[in-house]
Amino acid sequence: MRHTIEALLLSAALAGCSAPFQSPPSPSASSGTGIAALFPSGATIVDTKTMGNSTAVVMALPVGAPRGSLPAPPPDAELAVASSTPAGWRLNKAVVQQFAQAPELTVAQVAGVPAAGMAFHTGANSAGLVVIRNDAVVYDGVADSVQLQDLDGDGWAEVVKAWSPFCRSHADSPPLHTVYAWIGGAFVPATDHFPNLVAQDAASFQAAVARANSSQTTPAWDAASKACLHDSLAYLAQLAGDAQQAAAEKAQVRQLDPAYDVDAVAKAAAGEPAQTMPVAR
């Protein structure tokens, strides 16, 4: 009898091991009880990522039909943070961004708290970023490119933005980078905390000055466009804490074009970020 009982127990154990594993429901499940039920009919899930005890979601919202000869309206995208509860999925925070093409989701630590970022394109040389942290929008800006990334490898992400001072043209001008770091409970300008990035930008503008001064460059650069390059170098020297170099670059600006505003680039940097104003729902 003892051997019979042992055989039955072994058979039951083997049967349990061979049973298929039942995985938990996917956050992207499209059933009525899944996370997709939180969003408008016709919306599609672009990406989902775990965000602490919650789930970050980027949705592509349905585009309206064209009216007559008019083209279809630009797409909208939604960045949301949701939590799974015994009663089903609950929406913690959601914002809708208009004109958001090719949205991408990033989840990163910001001062030890997970944050969700939705990067998107709005057209040629134009991109945006919306960041949610602790169920609140903590960054919303547009530029040539904007990314949520850990720039210095310390495990905490910064907002890194590239933008053009338009020295002669967007194509001719190297980009400048502005970094926003989480300090005192908010993303604030902190580019001067990243000297390697400042030095890289300075090298790009020095190379642009050499091209602008070359007799082989056609069409030739005008004085105001050259002044813009030196104004950018003055701004970068100020970020690097080199007052003497900043003064020398500003003197070069005045010599090239006395009518040029020697603080134009610094003012443009201080005026950022331009906002896209996502709509909460």
Beta partners for 132?
116, 137
Q: Is the pLDDT of residue 30 over 60?
A: no
Task: Give the sign of the dihedral formed by CA 185, CA 90, CA 56, CA 39.
Answer: negative
Q: Is the pLDDT of residue 69 over 80?
A: no
pLDDT confidence of residue 277: 60
Q: Is the pLDDT of residue 73 over 90?
A: no
Report, as an integer, the average pLDDT of 50-72: 82
Q: How confident is the model at residue 270 (pLDDT cuts 50, 70, 90)?
A: confident
Instruction: Say how far apart CA 221 and CA 77 lie, in whole Å.
Output: 41
- Tell which wins on pLDDT, 195 or 7: 195
| Mean pLDDT for all residues in the chain | 86
pLDDT confidence of residue 231: 97
Question: Which strands, in side-by-side order, build the sheet including 88-97?
Answer: 44-51, 54-60, 77-85, 88-97, 279-280
In DSSP notation, 15-39 reads HHHHSPP-PPPPTT--STTSGGGGS
Residues 6+ apart with CB under 8 A from 131: 110, 115, 116, 117, 118, 137, 138, 139, 140, 148, 159, 187
164: phi then psi, degrees, rounded to nearest 5: -105, 135
Among residues of the chain, what percentage have pLDDT more than 90?
Answer: 73
pLDDT confidence of residue 91: 94
Q: Is the pLDDT of residue 261 over 50?
A: yes
pLDDT confidence of residue 281: 67
At 116-150, the pLDDT tens digits run 999 999 888 899 999 999 999 999 999 999 999 99
Instruction: Say how far apart CA 47 and CA 233 lie, in whole Å.
Output: 40
* Among candidate residues 129, 95, 87, 123, the one with its CA nearest the CA of residue 110: 129
Do 114 and 93 form a contact (C-beta atoms < 8 A)?
A: no
At 205-255, the pLDDT tens digits run 999 999 999 999 999 999 999 999 999 999 999 999 999 999 999 999 999
- 0.75 exceeded by the pTM? yes
Q: Tokens standing for 203?
A: 């090298």
pLDDT confidence of residue 34: 87
Amino acid identity of 175?
P
pLDDT confidence of residue 6: 39
Residues 6+ apart with CB under 8 A from 65: 72
* Residues 215, 220, 224, 229, Cα dihedral to 10°: -60
Q: Is the pLDDT of residue 68 over 60?
A: yes
Report, as an integer, the average pLDDT of 69-76: 76
Report, as an integer, the average pLDDT of 102-124: 94
Instruction: Say how far apart CA 132 and CA 95 lie, in whole Å.
Output: 9
